[in-house]
A and B are shown apart, each in its own frame.
Chain A
Amino acid sequence: MDRNLLVATGIEVTYGKRAGLFGGHTPTPVLHGVDIRIGRGQTIGIVGESGSGKTTLGRALLRLVDVSAGNITFDGEDITHIPENEMRPLRRRMQMIFQDPMASLNPRHTIRRILTGPLLLHGIAGDTAEALARVKAVLDRVSLPTACLDRYPHELSGGQRQRIGIARAVLMEPDFVLADEIVSGLDVSTQAQALKLLKELSRELGLAMAFISHDLSVIRAICDHVYVLQLGRIVEQGPCEQVFAAPSAAYTRALLDAIPLPEYDPGWLERKTEA
């Protein structure tokens, strides 16, 4: 069995390729020549600032966005251009957790419906009773009370909604999870809770994870390997210890240098690192 679960080579994504009826927009390239390799059970980080293309990359890996060039292989199978009905059974194995849990949970569905639906769809649970049992087990694992099943998303707090999002993703027992900026905007303590939970879950379930973030400190906490994205290109990648200890790209150095640490460092403010 190949050690690598998800391999993407030479990925290119361009927006606005089709000329519209009115003369068309000029196509804007968002990703160029991106190579990503995610091993089974490995957690990689994708870091970049706004406009780096990191969100697009995540969606391309999940085939939610079409690639204009390149290949994506999942568990040995080339999924780059397979039709949606062939993709569907694979979707159970590749899940996603979203940044805004309020927007990613259907406001008109109860938590029960949101969580049991996917299980019944893929036949992971034979009937509602079995689905409910699995849901309760996962809720317990993410420290949420069963009482929340009958609630609607807007009745829960932000941290609770985030954990529902995590629960939904792991309920399907996927091989791979994409976490797209899932802790941005959370309080430090809630963030730590979510990261700790995610790290434990990925270890327990043997999940491969791609963690997208603009925050290098968060990436350090949870990832083994990191890819640094700048304007649609990978400028540096490697094991976290290596990249953080001795970054080779000037951009990476600039990113690290820009992070203010909560300790006395009188030279920090004036120190300039050119990207």
Chain B
Amino acid sequence: MTDMLLNVTGLSAVSDREGGLPVLRDVSLSLKKGEVRGLVGESGAGKSTIAKAILGILPRTVRVTGGWINFKNRDLLAMKPQELRSIMGSEIALIPQDPQTALNPGRRIGAQLADGLRLKRGLSARAAEARALQLLADVQIRDPDRVMASFPHQLSGGMRQRVLIAAAFAVDPELVVADEPTTALDVTVQKEILRLIRRMQEAHGTGVLFVTHDLGIVAQICDSVTLLYAGKVIEEGPVRSVLENPQHAYTRALIAAGPRYDRPDAGLEPVPEEIFHALRQEIGIR
């Protein structure tokens, strides 16, 4: 299929730190060109692990025990480190979770952006700087010159996240992995950032794998969704049908457990113990 961008098949992994505990159980998901897929689950469900496996940055304590990750018909898991390095940051990019730690606190924004462009695109210093300025304008930063000359701590969280989005799309990647990019932001800023990500994605025709625990975010910017629990895919499909017509009891319970500002009685019903019990049995955990 020519427009299949990413195809994860039967991915399994264990954590050596916890005595071989499975952290991913036979996970499969696919992403077409230009598709935005949400990767949802509670903490520990494995969504971050999948993202890291794709990016090749799994911690040493986590070991892949099976499956493959097909990116444009190449298995990322089977690649040599230097091949992987050439793909990461040019064909696959990351929008990280914490804008604070993702930027070098000791260097100006302009320098950091230009660095990436020179490394990945081979631009000259002047061309890189001009391109960086353009990129900051693309992400709707109103005074890009000031931001170029600033250090990360001089910018707000939302601003820093815009810079990271600019950096991610700077190399015109085919796949962007967004790892809970709005968790550290205020809700009004979050909406702007989500809008920005969607716009950039549409403009560049990029496929996005959006990791989040928030079903609301998934509903508003994703085309499709994959729901995980304990490292296993519980349900997946087009966003609208999964949310309006959830097939699995866990999905239904999770949607119901979330509070809503338009419903006074929502958000007070935890997922019933029986559902967790049934899930554990279904997966095969004690």
Contact = CB atoms under 8 A, between A and B. Distances in A.
B is bound to A: yes
B220 A265 contact: yes
Determine chain A's interface SS by DSSP, over half rule. helix
B267 interface: yes
A264 B219 CA distance: 6
A107 to B, nearest CB: 21
B260 A220 contact: yes
A89 interface: no
B36 to A, nearest CB: 12
Contact of A221 (B220, B240, B244, B264): B264
Contact of B261 (A190, A192, A220): A220
Contact of B268 (A50, A190, A196): A196
A195 interface: yes
Contact of B258 (A219, A256, A257, A262): A262
Interface in A123-169: none
Interface in A181-225: 187-193, 195-196, 199, 214-222
B267 A269 contact: no
A196 B259 CA distance: 11
B238 to A, nearest CB: 11
B267 A191 contact: yes
Contacts of B244: 263-264
B216 A221 contact: no
Interface residues of A, number: 40
Contacts of B186: 49-50, 214
Contact of B191 (A241, A258, A262): A258
Contact of A258 (B187, B253, B270): B187
Nearest to B253: A189
A189 B194 contact: no
A241 B188 CA distance: 22
B257 interface: yes
Given A188-B213, A196-B270, A262 B188 contact: no
A274 to B, nearest CB: 11
Contacts of A222: 268
A215 B260 contact: no
Contacts of B214: 260
Of B42, B157, B264, B267, chain A has the most CB atoms within 10 Å of the CB of: B267
Interface string A235-275: 00000110010000000001111111111110011100001
Contacts of B171: none
A265 B219 contact: yes
B194 A264 contact: no
A218 B219 contact: no
A221 B266 contact: yes
A268 B267 CA distance: 22
A257 B261 CA distance: 10
B194 A260 contact: yes
A121 to B, nearest CB: 33
Given A188-B258, A259-B261, A254 B188 contact: yes
Contacts of B263: 220
Nearest to A261: B216
Contacts of B191: 257-258, 260, 269
19 contacts: A188-B258, A189-B257, A191-B259, A192-B270, A215-B259, A217-B258, A217-B259, A217-B261, A217-B267, A220-B267, A221-B266, A221-B267, A259-B216, A260-B194, A260-B217, A261-B262, A262-B219, A263-B244, A269-B191
Given A188-B254, A192-B257, A195-B268, 16 more contacts: A188-B215, A189-B257, A192-B258, A192-B267, A192-B269, A215-B187, A217-B258, A221-B265, A221-B268, A244-B262, A259-B216, A262-B215, A264-B240, A264-B244, A269-B195, A269-B220
For the complex of A and B, 4 pairs with smallest distance between CB atoms: A260-B216, A221-B267, A262-B215, A49-B186
